[in-house]
Amino acid sequence: MSEKTPYYITTPIYYPSGNPHIGHCYSTLACDCVARMKRMQGYDVMFLTGTDEHGQKIEKKAAEEGVTPQEYVDGIVANFKKLWETLGISYDRFVRTTDDYHVKTVQNVFEKLYKDGWIYKSSYTGKYCTPCESFWTESQLVDGKCPDCGREVQDASEEAYFFKLSHFAPQLRELLLDEERGFLNPKSRVNEMVHNFIDPGLQDLCVSRTSFKWGIPVTFDDDHIVYVWLDALTNYVSALGFMNDTYNDYEKFWPADSHVMAKEIVRFHSLIWPAILMALGEPLPKKILGHGWITFGDGKMSKSKGNVVNPFVPCERYGADALRYDLLREMPFGSDAPYSNEMMFNRINSDLANDLGNLISRTVAMTIKYFGGTLPVDKDFRDSDEELLSMTDALPSFVEETFEGLRFSEGLDRIIRVVARANKYIDENEPWVLAKDEANKPRLAAVLYNLLDTVRRCAILLSPVMPHVCPEIFEQIGACECCTTWEAATKRHALKADVTVTKGRILFPRIDVEKEVEELEALSKPARELPEEPMKDITVFDNFASLDLRAVKVLSCERVPKSDKLLKFIVDDGFGERQVLSGIAKYYKPEEMIGKTLAMIINLAPRKMMGHESNGMILSVRDGDKFRVIEFDDSIKPGADIS
Ligand code: ME8
């Protein structure tokens, strides 16, 4: 038996700086769909995904939460893995840049590049964007801001190691402009890379940092850690065992067939990554595929902007396959695609419930109604069947080509057109009329058989997109395993001549759009009204313990002249008398305060208000637009401490 052909596809490795959102799902789904298709076609597939765990942003986030960076990323990586499981992502390997073998590879790569003279030591001054972890030159900034995310950049300077990226400019130019090779896709991005980055002059790349600690140490210079992009890009080979002993798959799977990502990181993959590989003397990946963004509101959906949509919700409510289908169907390769729940419902209703779901349920129901579920072998095929059959014949090669190029929307559109043609074929042939005359039974059987076989072929091609539902379709239409391979999609009438169908559940229930939108909105509202003031940052117990909080008894109270806010109190704090001011004149008359036992901070530094000294602060609670003092009953003695 001949060896299977290897096929290696990768997603970007995501930053676990926040939980995954629908944007991350897109690249991962795209790879999953291609990986599944390739497996069905008999390839030996390696599908790699993972997480990019180092960098200043993660170090900062962890510090804000009072945990170590490793603890911080561990929690988020678990959520990424849970999401991939929920979505049915069939990855073969998950690389974490904190994995020992990856660290080893990065250190070995850095050392080799240094020894071979591709990395040298110098110092760097530039504009740094912390969220993007990118240095920019003045000329790369857009309106003085980060060209990737539009945020403020800071001046930064540090001693650093540099990679001789500039040396590779001619080779990179040639690589990108080689049309036959088709390295970078879509082609429109080639011009962007050549004109915006190579032609103005490629700068050497700063590949080490000293300003923070959370990264892979440079083995021969303790103060430096490896720049996060050199660390991250190396994942594509470390996960195969390049320069480490953990895996042994480099010979088999490298070079990668496809690196998939969104457009904002195409630059790193089509310039820096090939240059590193050239310096190492290793083969280059075959294709870089840069898709557009899923947008939400007015820009890219991203963790740093906070406009993320939680992908677990649609998976739970409509099934992972609905979300998978919708995301892959909506985005034309190379363009952005807006996401909204309402658009998803309309897509599910039109393509899946109306077209595909209806075709399956009508065909199965008629086979049961007119033939007790099993078709007779005797069939009367006619020339008029040809249009539907030849349209279906043309599908597999088109779907293969479009899916492999991430043009899922085109491939899926073509499948749904065949489904719609099949629905029309039902109306043209009117099985319910044929069924009235026993003599028409062979024709009726042929019509239903053509329909079931079309469903079979479409469902095979839909399997990489909807891996959970398609097996149920096969079960309902009585398709055995041997006629559901990718190869079988190219064959007419591979379904058994005396096929038996089974009535099953409704595979794609219609969504009541208005009701569903309302329910989702209700779900996204917090269960209770949130306080007007945002929550303050976490503090430590010692800050609280430094306050001397006591019950005090009001001995006298009067208005402060010329102030409509302030009341002046003399209180007994258990140790003696003290004067304190409070801005509650709008809510209380002075005389009603006398004799009350209140809560107060007694060790605030004295300060003057309207010429009167205040020694402490009376505590009150907001009640709408008013304030009320915190009061105790008479059993509480002045000086009692509050903790
Ligand atoms: O850039 N639409 O990680 P990251 C489509 N660690 N795709 C989106 C998206 C959106 N709105 N939002 C995110 C990094 N993505 C680096 C990568 S690779 C060696 C290192 C997807 O967490 C898309 O693939 O910011 C994008 O390129 C990637 O997530 C960015 O992920």
- 7 Cα–ligand 1 center, Å: 22
- The string of pLDDT tens digits covering residues 433-470 is 999 999 999 999 999 999 999 999 999 999 999 999 99
> Does residue 540 surpass a pLDDT of 80?
no
Q: Is 554 within 8 Å of 579 (Cβ atoms)?
A: no
Q: Which pTM value belongs to this model? A: 0.80
- The string of pLDDT tens digits covering residues 331-357 is 999 899 998 888 999 999 999 999 999
| Index of the ligand 1 atom closest to the CA of residue 273 | 19
> Does residue 307 surpass a pLDDT of 80?
no
Alpha helix ranges (H) inside 250-348 = 250-253, 266-267, 273-280, 312-318, 320-330, 341-347
Residue type, position 643, single letter: S
Q: How confident is the model at residue 299 (pLDDT cuts 50, 70, 90)?
A: low
- pLDDT above 90 covers a percentage of the chain that reads 77
> Does residue 18 surpass a pLDDT of 80?
yes
Residues 6+ apart with CB under 8 A from 94: 48, 49, 50, 51, 81
Average pLDDT, the chain: 93
Q: Ligand 1 test: best mutation among 52, 266, 295, 327, most atoms within 8 Å of CB?
A: 52
C-alpha 578/C-alpha 616 separation (Å) is 9
Ligand 1 contact via 261 beta carbon (within 6 Å):
yes
Residue type, position 71, single letter: E
Residue 621's H or E segment, with its range, is strand 620-623
Alpha helix ranges (H) inside 194-285 = 228-233, 235-238, 250-253, 266-267, 273-280
- The string of pLDDT tens digits covering residues 398-433 is 999 999 999 999 999 999 999 999 999 999 999 999
C-alpha 227/C-alpha 14 separation (Å) is 16
Does residue 138 or residue 612 have the better pLDDT?
A: 612
> Residue 605: which of 563, 546, 560, 554 has the closest Cα?
546
Q: CA torsion sign, 302 to 303 to 308 to 313?
A: positive
Output the pLDDT for position 1: 46
Supply 193's token pair.
């890379």
Output the pLDDT for position 525: 60
Does residue 159 or residue 36 have the better pLDDT?
A: 36
- The string of pLDDT tens digits covering residues 25-84 is 999 999 999 999 999 999 999 999 999 999 999 998 898 888 999 999 999 999 999 999
Q: How confident is the model at residue 297 (pLDDT cuts 50, 70, 90)?
A: confident
| CA nearest ligand 1 atom 10, residue | 23
> Residue 329: which of 29, 24, 534, 575 has the closest Cα?
29
- The string of pLDDT tens digits covering residues 553-574 is 999 999 998 888 899 999 999 9
- Give me the phi and psi of 333, to 5 degrees please: -60, 130
| Index of the ligand 1 atom closest to the CA of residue 300 | 11
Output the pLDDT for position 626: 85
> Does residue 530 surpass a pLDDT of 60?
no
C-alpha 290/C-alpha 274 separation (Å) is 15
Q: How confident is the model at residue 519 (pLDDT cuts 50, 70, 90)?
A: confident
- β-pair partners for 582: 567
Q: Is 581 within 8 Å of 593 (Cβ atoms)?
A: no
| Index of the ligand 1 atom closest to the CA of residue 17 | 22
Q: Ligand 1 test: best mutation among 9, 10, 11, 14, most atoms within 8 Å of CB?
A: 14
- β-pair partners for 119: 163
